[in-house]
Amino acid sequence: MAQETQEEKEGVTRVAIYPGSFDPITYGHIDIVERALEIFDKVILAIAHDISDGSKRSLFSVEERIEMAKSVFEHSPNLIVDSFKGLLVDYVDRTNARVILRGLRATSDFEYEFHMASMNRSLNTHLDTLFMMTSKDYFFVSSRSIKEVAGLGGAVEGLVPSIVARRLKEKFNLPLAKEKQMGWEY
Ligand code: PNS
């Protein structure tokens, strides 16, 4: 049997915070969580509230986003769904995590992520951002494109869990004929 590490002896739990808008959660996000759970003891999926200045408005309320994420991860006890308001670094500070986890799809994500990670590190030097490359099957999937496609009546099954596809359908109030035509019947 492998020897226990010092951390294991001391019962240290490795926690990562996976923050985002998750508006809505996609299989790209889920893939990152599943792989992160192989590295960390606990992953906290932290859903950001909209900033009150109205600069970013989510399609789904934070309660709706939490409900969808909780339903997706109901059988993953090491994944905790939470939400936060205000600065991410302040939220992370209130947990015992030191790692912020983010997914990277393509080089186009890099600049935004680099700025965010650098800003967070300058706000709190104890925290680090860890990036995981999105799996090749999901590198083109973003919440933004999912909303656009769904809003225009396109099929998003296979890219988001069925609960999310259903909620999108309800949100956009798609006519039944179109749902049938797009193979969106559940
Ligand atoms: O999924 P997103 O929209 O790319 O996630 C961005 C998010 C929510 C992680 C980021 O906007 C954030 O951390 N917001 C909280 C406010 C904050 O801490 N801003 C400073 C980071 S530059």
Place of tokens 């496609």: 149
- Give the whole-angstrom CA distance, residue 22 versus residue 68: 10
- Decide which of 150 and 54 is more confident: 150
Instruction: Supply the pLDDT for residue 51.
Output: 85
| Rounded percentage of the chain residues whose pLDDT exceeds 70 | 87
pLDDT at 178 over 90: no
pTM confidence score: 0.89
What span, in angstroms and rounded, lies between the C-alpha atoms of 122 and 22? 25
105 as an active site residue: the answer is: yes
Q: Whose alpha carbon is nearest atom 16 of ligand 1?
A: 87
For residue 170, report the distance from its CA to the centre of ligand 1, in Å. Answer: 27
Ligand 1 atom closest to 89 (CA): 18
CA proximity to 100, closest of 45, 50, 51, 140: 45
Average pLDDT of the segment spanning 23-35 = 97
Is 168 or 182 the better-scoring residue by pLDDT?
168
Q: How high does pLDDT run on average in the chain?
A: 90
pLDDT at 111: 94
Helix and strand counts by DSSP (H, E) for the chain: 8, 5
Is 70 catalytic? The answer is no
The C-alpha torsion from 168 through 170 and 171 to 174, rounded to 10°, is 90
Output DSSP code: residue 86.
Answer: S
Between CA 93 and CA 181 the distance in angstroms is 49
Q: Quick one: pLDDT band at residue 175, thresholds 50, 70, 90?
A: low
Rounded to an integer, the average pLDDT of 139-144 is 95
